[in-house]
Structure 1
Amino acid sequence: MNAMRKLEHIFTNNRTRKRLKIRIFKACVESIFLYNSELWTVNKTTANKIHSFHRRMLRKAINIKWPRKISNEQLYNKTKHHQQKWSNIIKTRRIRWYGHLQRLPEKTPAKISLQEARRTIKRSRGGQVTTWLSTIEKDLIELDLSVEDASHLAHDRREWRKVVRISRALRSPEPDASQ
């Protein structure tokens, strides 16, 4: 929100082209919001909140204010060549990070923590149900990959880049049309 406030003079200027506003939005707002997002665990509720926030910021970026209304579908159509849903970007980044994590040396702290997270332990009641590992497993299942296959495939960078490209191509079929 702070980045949006600092750039408000650009977004409210009617002389600035929409394409330029979207480029500035991607560079200055989206990059801040999605910083380190490959480590987030995103469930449906969180994804809906992210989408809602994204649409609100897009409306501000292209200067659409009340009483002028446009549907979410129209908003995505206006910015379709420049924007994709943030949850898709997060998913792609998470898959890319998983490949990087698999290629790290065994003594790296991140690799050690991954091995520790995979260890089966009895969990206490309550707590977080959705873990990063369960989220990445769901992402890999959507790509028709098992965790073992993905772990082996990740060691070949060229092949893993293909997997990341496929994940980028798998977008939700239609934008959410609700307001």
Structure 2
Amino acid sequence: MYGCEAWTISKQTQNKLEAIEMCFLRRMLRIPWTAKKTNERVLNEANKRRSLVRTIRKRQATFLGQVMRRGKLEHLVTTGKFEGKRSRGRQREKIMDGLATWLGPGKVSDILAAVKDRDLWRDMIANAYKQGTR
């Protein structure tokens, strides 16, 4: 998870992260891959919830709060407010877009306003973490 604060997590990447988390959990519980156990059954045996993607999103949101309150070059890059032309084709997903969908309904401008108030920002992150990834 080193440097996960700068990752952009697409739906495909999220599915791969969830699959590898289940692979690790099965390995820790010594369940062979040939055993016909569903992921839900494995999670119930371990008394766990899927938490890898939620942890990554939480770290990203915490890092975003630090960057936005600092207000330097990183702030400009993260918000996308710099000069230049957009490249052709489908645009890449931004970190802000992924966090906006994870934190719940609202605009990116609402999120940027909430970052200024640390207590509100911490509450938003905690609520999103409790709700899960989807």
State the superposition RMSD in angstroms.
2.4
- 2:132 match: 171
Question: Does structure 1 retain, via aligned residues, the 8 Å contact 2:26–2:42?
Answer: yes
Deviation, structure 1 residue 66:
4.3
C-alpha distance in structure 2 between counterparts of 1:66 and 1:166, whole Å? 35
Aligned partners of 2:6, 2:94: CA distance in 1, in Å? 10
Q: What residue in structure 2 maps to residue 86 of structure 1?
A: 52
Match of 1:125 among 88, 91, 95: 88
Per-residue CA distance 1:97-119 (angstroms, 9 max, x = gap)? 22222111x3x34224335x234
TM-score normalised by L of structure 2: 0.81
Q: Give CA-to-partner distance per residue, 1:55-76, whole Å, 9 cap, x none.
A: 1111111111144332111111
- 1:118 is paired with a residue of what secondary structure? coil
Aligned to 1:14: none
Partners of 1:119 and 1:132 in 2: CA distance: 16
5 Å-filtered alignment, 1:18-57, equals 34-57=1-24
- CA shift, 1:167, in A, is 0.9
Matched residue, 1:17: none
The alignment covers a number of residue pairs equal to 134
Q: What is the match of residue 114 of structure 1?
A: 78
Contact conserved, 2:5 with 2:60, CA < 8 A, in 1? yes
Q: Deviations over 1:46-94 (max 9, x none)?
A: 111111111111111111114433211111112234x433222222222
- Give 2:100's match in structure 1, choosing from 100, 112, 137: 137
Contact 2:17/2:52 (8 A) holds in 1: yes
What is the aligned partner in structure 2 of residue 97 from structure 1?
63
Identity of aligned residues (%): 25
State the alpha-carbon separation in 2 of the partners of residues 66 and 102 from structure 1: 44
Q: Which runs of 5+ in 2 are unaligned?
A: none
Residues 121 and 56 from structure 1, CA distance in 2 versus in 1: closer, same or farther, beyond 3 angstroms? same
The residue correspondences of 1:141-160 to structure 2 (distance < 5 A) are: 142=104, 144-160=105-121
Larger Rg: 1
Report the Cα offset of residue 148 of structure 1: 2.1
TM norm structure 1: 0.64
CA contact (8 A) 2:67 2:74 kept: yes
